[in-house]
Structure 1
Amino acid sequence: MTKAIKAWDRLSIARMIDRPNAEDYIKLIFDNFFELHGDRYYGDDKAIIGGIGKLENTPVTIIGIQKGKNLKENMERNFGSPYPEGYRKALRLIKEAEKFNRPVICFINTSGAYCGVEAEERGQGEAIARNLFEISQIKTPIISIIIGEGGSGGAIALACGDRVWALENSVYSILSPEGFASILLKDSSKAKEVVDVMGITAYDLLSNGVIEKIINEPTGGAQTDIKSVANDLKKSLISEINDLKSMDVNELINQRYERYRKFY
């Protein structure tokens, strides 16, 4: 793929129903993955999967926002839009990783957190804010990877670690182009007109310092050769995790603080 591809085309690839999801990458990159369930408060949100596995010989905690590949799977996964209990489950696993000194790797693919009444009743805003607050101080390395859509606070709740990467055809934004057009132009059908100025592509994000790395994809998107994409991602993760683990904990947290402080 090349930088010249238009933002709308990249967004269309990011939204493809057959685009590899978190579970696809987990199966190809990690060994002995064991899924854990529940937030210990309300229930188990299937829009977020998480557990323990091995990255080569290193035990890691893996968390992913999971979309389905057909209507039945998407209904089960709430179309990749987590409830508060999903974010609380993720935080529980991250704090467990800190206790046992395991690095954390997050895969993000969501149009946003679920905005239904029941989610608000169970504290959606607080759950996302709690993740941001707690993760900023976690004493173990965290790498987050945007693998499809990274929408709003629903994405940033798991994308506030030490490194944020993005697949070449992924997008990351404060809201969808449809929402952007609806607010500013009073017409959601004009999304295609505003997407270029939003700066949501991986190349825009890299140039603006929002992410540190772009993972290349083959022509047509990651689904055309997921094994190659997963292999490149695995190599990058192994190298970066080794570097982050070698850092003093206080230095790690200070660098994380400075990373996000520069956006204010």
Structure 2
Amino acid sequence: MEYLDFELPIKELEEQLQKCRVIGEESDVDVTETCLQIEKKLAETRSEIYGNLSAWQRVQMSRHPNRPYTLDYIRALCGDSFLELHGDRTVKDDKAMIGGLGKIGDQTFMFVGQQKGFNTKTRQYRNFGMANPEGYRKALRLMKSAEKFGIPVVSFVDTPGAYPGIEAEERGQGEAIARNILEMTRLKVPVIVLIIGEGASGGALGIGVGDKVLMLENTWYSVISPESCSSILWRSWEYKEQAASALKLTAEDMKGLGLVDEIIKEPAGGAHTDREETFASVQAKILEHFEALDKLSPKELVKQRMEKYSQMGVYSG
């Protein structure tokens, strides 16, 4: 189990509790009362820490190395029914963007999403979840195929941003993302978007337009990362915590501004502490929103989606 810096008090108490139990098992000393006191203190510490997370701490939670990624969700939701599809039919298959068909119960969905790696080798293979233009074009190809056959789309957003390399720009990174945003607004099938980790910049928007946009509790969604914002404004990454707070990037902020539709609560300590509970919550929300959206005609879906995004950014103080 890996701990973030602000979780160290929890780590210390858990280690104390483990040692206390070992002493009780290996000796005749009754440590029941001591263990109960540590457990009580541990519960209070967890409640205090996770009940008062700052914006920067939520950013750290969204990047936790043990946090489930897109393929983890898809495998949990679909089991063996998931069929991954590859390639944009123009350049190549982008490993940072995955997609394919899968079933939740008896209902087929088209899944797309950014995939990060879980160790050094797979992170390089997946380009750290930063898709190239061919990744966005692959995602669009799959979404248009889903539209053709009347299959709803589920999109998982988890990226530090689209890949910023020269070759990506040469192949039309900006156009690919803009094209996806345009086409997703007028897809004639239900589109459900889930932000499961980092939702950064146009890299997130490229697969982030939907009838319903849901955020897990410890995720963030913003035009820029706190570190990049800090480096632009202060010429240093030292002000990333201040930038995170100013950017209003947390799920609660996004919901308050009307930019997302719902927040999915995570287990205490984050999605990685109880993956099964997290997967169950995500599945329930997908099916709940699909059931409501499935009652709408294609014309109504597009109209409501257009109106939803047209109203964003209108503010009166």
Correspondence 1:215 to 2:264: yes
Q: Deviations over 1:34-83 (max 9, x none)?
A: 00000000000000110001121111100110001111010000000000
Cα separation, 2, equivalents of 1:159 and 1:64: 10
Larger deviation, residues 79-88 vs 29-38? 29-38
Greater percentage in helix: 2
In the alignment, structure 1 residue 169 sits paired with structure 2 residue 218? yes
The one of 35, 47, 51 equivalent to 2:100 is 51
Largest Rg, 1 or 2: 2
Instruction: From 11, 22, 36, give the equivalent of 2:59.
Output: 11
Unpaired stretches in structure 1, ≥5 consecutive residues: none
SS at match of 2:82: strand
- Counterpart residue number, 1:89: 138
Contact 1:56 1:238 in 2 (8 A): no
1:90-134 CA distance string (max 9 Å, x none): 000000000000000011100000000110111101100110111
Matched, 1:129 2:178: yes
Question: Structure 2 CA distance, aligned partners of 1:206 and 1:242?
Answer: 22
Does the alignment pair 1:226 with 2:275?
yes
- 1:199 — aligned with what? 248
Are the counterparts in 2 of residues 3 and 203 from structure 1 also a CA contact under 8 Å? no
Structure with more relative contact order (C-alpha pairs < 8 Å, separation 6 or more): 1
Deviation at residue 144 of structure 1 after TM alignment: 0.6
The percent identity for this pair of structures is: 45
Which of these residues, 199, 202, 218, is aligned with residue 153 of structure 1?
Answer: 202
Letter in 2 for 1:252: L
- Aligned alpha-carbon RMSD (Å): 1.1
For residue 248 of structure 1, report the CA deviation from its aligned partner. Answer: 1.6
The 2-side partners of 1:185 and 1:259 are apart by 35
Distance 1:160 1:16 in 2: 25
1:101 has 2:158 as partner: no
8 Å CA contact 2:62, 2:219 repeated in 1: yes
1:172-197 CA distance string (max 9 Å, x none): 00000011112222222211122111
- AA aligned to 1:20 is P
Structure 1 CA distance, aligned partners of 2:286 and 2:312? 25
- Aligned residue for 1:44, secondary structure, equals coil
Report the residue type matching 2:71 in the other structure.
E
Q: TM-score normalized by structure 2?
A: 0.81
Deviates most, 31-40 or 180-189 = 180-189
Question: What is residue 60 of structure 1 aligned with on the other side?
Answer: 109
Task: Read off the aligned partner of 1:245 and give its amino acid letter.
Answer: D
The range that moved more, 55-64 or 37-46, is 55-64
Q: Which moved more, 1:88-97 or 1:158-167?
A: 158-167
Residue identity matched to 2:53: I
Aligned length: 264
Q: Which moved further from structure 2: 219-228 or 188-197?
A: 188-197
